């Protein structure tokens, strides 16, 4: 089982809806109208997956820090 995830936001895709910051405020915030992860590597947490799955443009990617396997969003 993964002990760490890498979280990234594609600034070219992000539309600044703020759903991620509302869903997982301990992991995301809006900076200059775009989503930004508070940390690049996080402990596995359901709110991070929920935020990635809720993004209307799939700008958030969550990957296993070890093998880079995509955790969310599910394709």
Length reported for the chain: 75
pLDDT single digits (tens) 7-64: 999 999 999 999 999 999 999 999 999 999 999 999 999 999 999 999 999 999 999 9
Tell me what pLDDT residue 35 has. Answer: 97
Under CATH, which number does the domain 5-72 receive? 3.30.70.20
- The dihedrals phi and psi of 23, each to the nearest 5 degrees, come to -80, -40
pTM: 0.93
Burial of residue 51 (number of CB atoms within 10 Å: 0-12, 13-18, 19+): buried
Q: Are 61 and 52 in contact (CB under 8 A)?
A: yes
Burial of residue 36 (number of CB atoms within 10 Å: 0-12, 13-18, 19+): middle
Instruction: Provide the residue ranges of all domains of the chain, joining segments of one domain with +.
Output: 5-72
């Amino acid at each position: 089982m993964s002990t760490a995830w890498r979280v990234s936001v594609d600034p070219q895709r992000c539309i600044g809806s703020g759903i991620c910051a509302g869903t997982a405020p301990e992991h995301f915030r809006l900076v200059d109208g775009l989503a930004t992860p508070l940390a690049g590597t996080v402990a596995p947490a359901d709110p991070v997956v929920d935020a990635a799955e809720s993004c209307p443009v799939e700008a958030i990617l969550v990957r296993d820090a070890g093998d880079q396997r995509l955790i969310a969003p599910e394709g």
